[in-house]
Each structure stands twice: as structure tokens, then as C-alpha cells.
């Protein structure tokens, strides 16, 4: 028997952070995704212990200010792309306003640290969300293009193919074939 689960990584990380911080007995406040404000200082030993306890979950403490700001940029982009609402402003304006820096500065910093552009990261996130919408929500390409703020289905399809190497239609066929195979496997197991 198989079970499929869906993760909300932001909620999961907040819960882990909250539990691990409570274990340390530190006074803190979770500000945003991946941001903790401490009300008191802590020892180097507490810092090491806390850092180690997070590593078990694949969570790392960001030591550099630049890296921290790049992570904030990524978090804002994920929030923007995966939002249930359509944001009526351009991504560049949204990111700059959300982080209170000029877009030019954020763009240069992002490229310097990640070796890719903010625009490329946005496209990758949009395509990942498009895949999720096709698989889980079973939305058509017109609905997905509208939801992800594409000018047309053709624009979405072009970016999808450039990113994944296949068209959205080919992706949907692969998903359908896998579902049929899984259904067949489940039926076969019942018989055997």
C-alpha cells in the first residue's frame, strides 16, 4: 500500500525551528520564513548545538548577510509564485517593495551569489508550480497560464519546453501513463 503526502515546507520548517529553539530554552520570535529574532544573546556552545540539531533536518544557519538576503529573495519569489492570489504588479516591483531594496541591487546580488538571474529562478519556480497544478489540481493550460501571470498559453508552453525539454502536453501524457501504470500495478497486486 502506498500513501502520498503533500508538504508545506514553510510550515514544516517553522515547526522544526520552534521545537528546536524551545529545546535550547532561548527567548525568540519567528519573524518570517527562515528568520528568527532573539531577545537575548546565547553562548557559542548553544549556537553549535542548535546548528547541529537543525542539520539533521537539512536546515542550515546562514552566516553571511549576502546569503541571507538571497534566501529572502528566494522566499519572496516562492511566496509570489505559489500564492493563491494573482499579484497585479510585476515581479521586480513586488520583490523590491517586499525587501525594501532597489531591484537592481537585489538582481546583482542574486546573480553574484547564485550564478543565475532572478528572472531564471522565477521561471524555474513557475514551471515547478505549473507541473504541480497539472498533476494535483488537474488544471488546463489556460487556467495555469492565467494563474501564473503568463501573457498566453504559448508563452507558458515555450518556457516550459525550454526549462524541462518537453512540452506541457508531453508532460501531461507522461503523468497519465504513470497513473495508468500505478493503477495497473495496484490492480495486479490485488489479484496476486
- Report domain extents, the chain: 9-61, 64-116, 125-192
Measure the CA–CA gap between 187 and 192, rounded to whole angstroms. Answer: 9
Question: Residue 28's beta-bridge partner residues?
Answer: 38
Higher-pLDDT residue of 97 and 24 is: 97
The region, left, alpha or beta by phi > 0 then psi within -120 to 50, assigned to residue 75 is alpha
What percentage of residues in the chain have a pLDDT greater than 90?
Answer: 38
Q: What is the mean pLDDT of residues 49-75?
A: 85
Ramachandran angles phi, psi of 6, nearest 5°: -115, 135
Higher-pLDDT residue of 173 and 138 is: 173
Question: 62-76, 107-121, 122-136: lowest mean pLDDT where?
Answer: 62-76
pLDDT higher than 60, residue 157: yes
Q: pLDDT band at 97, cuts 50/70/90? A: very high
Q: pLDDT band at 88, cuts 50/70/90? A: confident
Q: What is the pLDDT of residue 36?
A: 80
Domain 125-192 CATH superfamily:
Homeodomain-like (1.10.10.60)
CB atoms inside a 10 Å sphere around CB 160: 26
The region, left, alpha or beta by phi > 0 then psi within -120 to 50, assigned to residue 34 is left
pLDDT, mean over the chain: 85
In whole angstroms, how large is the CA radius of gyration of the chain? 21
pLDDT higher than 60, residue 70: yes
Which secondary structure element, helix H or strand E, spans residue 64, and what is its range? none
Amino acid at each position: 500500500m502506498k500513501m502520498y503526502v503533500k508538504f508545506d515546507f514553510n510550515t514544516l520548517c517553522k515547526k522544526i525551528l520552534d521545537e528546536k529553539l524551545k529545546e535550547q530554552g532561548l527567548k525568540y520570535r519567528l519573524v518570517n520564513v527562515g528568520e528568527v529574532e532573539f531577545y537575548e544573546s546565547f553562548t557559542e556552545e548553544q549556537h553549535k548545538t542548535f546548528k547541529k540539531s537543525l542539520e539533521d533536518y537539512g536546515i542550515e544557519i546562514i552566516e553571511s548577510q549576502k546569503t541571507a538576503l538571497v534566501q529572502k529573495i528566494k522566499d519572496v519569489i516562492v511566496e509570489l509564485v505559489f500564492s493563491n492570489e494573482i499579484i497585479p504588479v510585476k515581479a521586480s516591483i513586488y520583490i523590491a517593495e517586499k525587501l525594501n531594496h532597489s531591484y537592481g541591487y537585489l538582481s546583482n546580488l542574486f546573480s553574484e551569489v547564485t550564478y543565475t538571474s532572478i528572472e531564471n529562478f522565477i521561471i524555474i519556480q513557475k514551471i515547478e508550480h505549473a507541473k504541480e497544478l497539472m498533476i494535483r489540481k488537474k488544471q488546463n493550460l489556460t487556467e495555469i497560464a492565467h494563474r501564473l501571470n503568463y501573457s498566453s498559453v504559448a508563452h507558458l508552453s515555450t518556457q516550459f519546453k525550454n526549462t524541462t525539454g518537453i512540452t506541457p502536453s508531453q508532460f501531461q501524457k507522461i503523468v497519465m501513463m504513470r497513473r495508468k501504470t500505478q493503477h495497473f500495478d495496484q490492480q495486479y497486486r490485488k489479484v496476486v
